[in-house]
Amino acid sequence: MRCELCGKEDRLQRVIIEGTEMMVCSSCAAYGKPVAVPKRKVPVSIPSSKKEYYGKDIFEKMDKEIVPDWGKRIRKARENRGLTRQQLGAMIGEKTNTVAKIENQELRPSDEKAKKIEKLLNIVLFHDVKPAIIKKKDVRGLTIGDLLKKDE
């Protein structure tokens, strides 16, 4: 490669000359300050505790989902306990606006927040998910005869 300062073909070094980083030959390098070459990043190995999650079905452990009327349940339980949105928000660490949006079902609470609300208001917000069963039919390919029968 050629020096960016003098054009000489040589082994180049990375230096800063008058605020500009340049690739220059060894003789031109005296005009600047050398730049430390960044070390290459070493690939990070995945801790053994997390290895079990890779390569597996991520939905395997998802056996519960939030109920469809979670907002109404939260509002009703809050009102039955005589709490304001502001008080409930303070108890779960959320703003009053956030509690209002959760009750209006404009914002779904995180699973952790929903579990906290469940515990505080003594309500149920999650139900079990039944695994879908897909029945396989004896599927064979479509033949020309099948196409001709459809036209009749």
Pick the CATH number of 64-128 from 3.40.1410.10, 3.30.470.10, 1.10.260.40, 3.40.50.300: 1.10.260.40
Q: pLDDT per residue over 45-81, tens digit each? A: 666 555 555 556 666 677 788 899 999 999 999 999 9
How far apart CA 20 and CA 13 sit, in angstroms, is 13
Q: 143 exposed, middle or buried (CB, 10 Å; 0-12, 13-18, 19+)?
A: exposed
The pLDDT value recorded for residue 49 is 56
Give the pLDDT confidence of 86-108 residue by residue, as tens digits: 999 999 999 999 999 999 999 99
Angle between helices 70-80 and 96-103 (to 10 degrees): 120
Delimiting residues of CATH 1.10.260.40 domain(s) in the chain: 64-128
User: What global pTM score does this model have?
Assistant: 0.50
Q: Between the CA of residue 43 and those of 36, 40, 46, 48, 53, what are the distances in Å?
A: 21, 9, 9, 15, 19
